Structure 1
Amino acid sequence: MSTSELSREEREALTRQIQKILTDELDQDIGNMEAAVILDAVAEALGAAFYNKGLKDAGALFARRADDIADELYALEKPVTPLR
C-alpha cells in the first residue's frame, strides 16, 4: 500500500500517532517529517500484508452471508405434491 492512497487528514493523523507512540514508548521526540518517513516505510513494508488480510476477512464475511441467504431461500421453498 502506498501512503499516497491516504487522504491528507489520514496521513496527518497517522503521523501524529507515530509521534505519540515514539514519545510514549521510547521517549523519542521526532518531527512531522521524520514521522512521515516512518509512515511511508511501514506502509511500504507491511501495507500489502494488512491489505491482503482485509481482503481475506471481507471474502470470509461475504461467504458467510451468502450461506445465510442460501439457507433463507431454502426455508422459503414450498413442498411439491406429486400428481396422483
Structure 2
Amino acid sequence: MPKLDFSTDDQAAIVARVRDYFLSEFELDVGRFEAEAMLEFFAKEIGAHFYNRGLYDAQAVITNQIDAINDAIYQLEQAPGV
C-alpha cells in the first residue's frame, strides 16, 4: 500500500476525528503525533482491505451498467425481413 497522500487539511481533519473518537469512546486523550501514528498503522495494516473492497464495489457497479447497456442494445435489434 502506498504511503498516505492526504492534503494537509484532510490529514488534520482525520487526525482530529481519531483524537475525538478516543476521547469520547475511551476517555483517552491521544496527542496529535500518536493519532498520526495510529492513522499510518491502520492504513498500512488494513488499508488494502478497504481499498480492495472499494475496487470490488466499483467493478460491480460497472458490470451492472454494462449489462444494462447490453440489454438496451439487444432491445434495439430488428428482425430481418423474411
| CA shift for structure 1 position 4 | 2.7
1:14-35: per-residue Cα shift (whole Å, max 9, x none)?
1011001100000001111111
Identity fraction in percent = 32
Q: Where do 5+ consecutive residues of structure 1 fail to align? A: none
TM-score under structure 2 length normalisation:
0.91
Aligned match of 1:65: 65
Aligned to 1:17: 17
Task: Name 1:76's counterpart in structure 2.
Answer: 76
What number of residue pairs does the alignment pair up?
A: 82
Off by >4 Å, runs of 4+ in structure 1: none
Uncovered stretches (5+) of structure 2, i.e. residues with no partner: none
Aligned-pair Cα RMSD in Å: 1.2
1 or 2 for the larger relative contact order (CA 8 Å, sep ≥6)? 1
Mapped to 1, the partners of 2:41 and 2:2 lie a distance apart of 10
TM-score (norm 1): 0.89
Q: d(CA) in 1 for partners of 2:41 and 2:20?
A: 17
> Alignment partner of 2:29: what SS?
coil
